[in-house]
Amino acid sequence: MWRVNKRKPEFVVKQAHGSSDGLGPNWITSIAALKYSNIFASGSNNGFIKIWVISHSKIEHILSIPTTGYVNSLQFSKSGGLLIAGVGQEYRFGRWNTIKEAKNGISVIQLPIKK
C-alpha cells in the first residue's frame, strides 16, 4: 500500500497468494477496493480470492473465498454486499499456463462484510 506523498510502499504483504512449485510467488492478477472503506480483495490462480482489511499498522487477511482458475477481474457492488469475479482458464494477457478444471465465466459472491 502506498501513500500519495511517498515513493516507497508503507505496507507490503510478501507472497500474499502463496507460491507455486518453487517457481516464486503467485502473481496477483486482480484487485478491487470497496469505496469509502478500508476493505479490498485480491485474486490469483492459487484457488482463493482473498479479502483484506487495512488497519492502522498493517494489512490483515480476513477471508478466503475458494475459486478455481485465474481471477482476472474483481468488482464490489455499490452496497458492498457482493463481489463479482471474472474467472478464466488462463491469465488475461497470455497463455503461459492453463488450468483445465476452470471454466471461463463470472462468479457472484455474497459477502458477510458490513461497511
Terminal-residue alpha carbon distance, the chain? 20
pLDDT tens, position by position, 17-27: 888 776 788 88
Q: Which pTM does this prediction carry?
A: 0.84
Average confidence (pLDDT) over 58-80: 92
Distances (CA, A) of 46 to 7, 25, 66, 73, 80: 30, 10, 9, 15, 24
**What pLDDT, on a 0 to 100 scale, did the predictor assign at position 5?**
83
- Which residues are CB-neighbours of 42 under 8 A, at least 6 positions away? 16, 17, 28, 30, 31, 49, 50, 52, 74
Residue 69 CA to residue 82 CA, distance in Å, equals 20
Whether 114 shows a pLDDT value over 70: the answer reads: no
Q: What is the mean pLDDT of the chain?
A: 87
